[in-house]
Amino acid sequence: MACWDIIGKALNQPIYNLLGGKYHDKLRAYAYMPTEGIWENPEKAGEIAAKLVEEGNSACKLDPFMPIFPLPRDIPLAIIRQAAKIFQCIRDAVGDKLEIGIGTHGQLTTYSAIRVAKVLEEYDPFWFEEPVPPENVDEMSRVAAHTSIPIATGERLVTKYEFSQVLEKQAAQIIQVDVGQCGGILEAKKIAGMAEAHYAMIAPHMYCGPVAAAAAIQLDTCSPNFLIQEFNAGPRHAELFQESIRFENGFITPPAGPGLGVVLDEEAIKQYLV
């Protein structure tokens, strides 16, 4: 990422112009839905969803099967039904105005993932993320074959070789490549191209800070098969750049500046030095 930033700034061009040019003028984005209290009171999920829509968001994600560990594990029917109530309350509150991704972290066994998908299918989830641990592509493919919910994966995969197996075995239709983990911007662009050839979309993972987010945005902007960008940006993200990434009404505006399009604020960073 640093090398691409240097090249872009030396040429006075954003990285997306060096990788094919701007394909999207704005980028749809999402973040995790705040979930405190919704398990005990599913109607609260509807209230939160309505607020998200009011703020201009068109998508969100939630993990109804916490904790993450141990995994993979069985999800009892009573818990699946309770998760369904949460989804039902969201749909009752906002209808189809908000896409809802099932944001699991590989917590489920194959058969349990299939049961979950069957129950939640009627609420038309945006995707079912990592329904089983991502290292077992065959089992993820088995889940994909049993549901109409799109399967998403990729945040824990590295290099184009792992992604090629996911695509070839039809284990996922939404590829959540992490630019910082998969080998960098050029490797991520290759993975996005492979996904495009399989009619799969990319929804890059972003949970590693504002510089990684800026790199993902460069990839998104020049990728025809971009779907949506994860954007879990806290208030400190904006502080660290001289000019923050613009996120308004559920969309990110790609920066026009050279390189990653952002410049770190050295004075702001000093307060976080250890």
- pLDDT tens for the chain, 274 residues long, are 999 999 999 999 999 999 999 999 999 999 899 999 999 999 999 999 999 999 999 999 999 999 999 999 999 999 999 999 999 999 999 999 999 999 999 999 999 999 999 999 999 999 999 999 999 999 999 999 999 999 999 999 999 999 999 999 999 999 999 999 999 999 999 999 999 999 999 999 998 788 999 999 999 999 999 999 999 877 777 788 998 888 999 999 999 999 999 999 988 888 888 8
Identify which of 173, 31, 172 has the alpha carbon closest to the alpha carbon of residue 98.
31
153 three-state secondary structure: strand
**1-22+168-274 matches 25-153 in fold:** yes
Asked if residue 14 lies in contact with residue 261, where contact means CB atoms within 8 angstroms, the answer is: yes
Q: Is 105 a catalytic residue?
A: yes
Task: Write down the catalytic residue from 24, 146, 198, 205.
Answer: 205
The residue behind tokens 């495009």 is 196
Measure CA of the first residue to CA of the last residue in the chain; give whole Å.
24
Q: Is 205 a catalytic residue?
A: yes
Identify which of 194, 175, 31, 226 has the alpha carbon closest to the alpha carbon of residue 217.
226
Give the predicted TM-score (pTM) of the model. Answer: 0.95
CATH architecture of 25-153: Alpha-Beta Barrel (3.20)
The listed CATH number (3.90.1170.50, 3.40.50.720, 3.40.50.300, 3.20.20.120) that belongs to domain 1-22+168-274: 3.20.20.120
Going from N- to C-terminal start, the domains of the chain cover: 1-22+168-274, 25-153
- Cα distances from 118 to residues 57, 115, 122, 149, in angstroms, run 27, 5, 8, 9
- Strand stretches in 163-259, DSSP E: 174-175, 201-202, 229-230, 246-248, 251-253
Task: Write down the catalytic residue from 105, 146, 198, 237.
Answer: 105
Predicted local confidence at residue 191, as pLDDT: 98
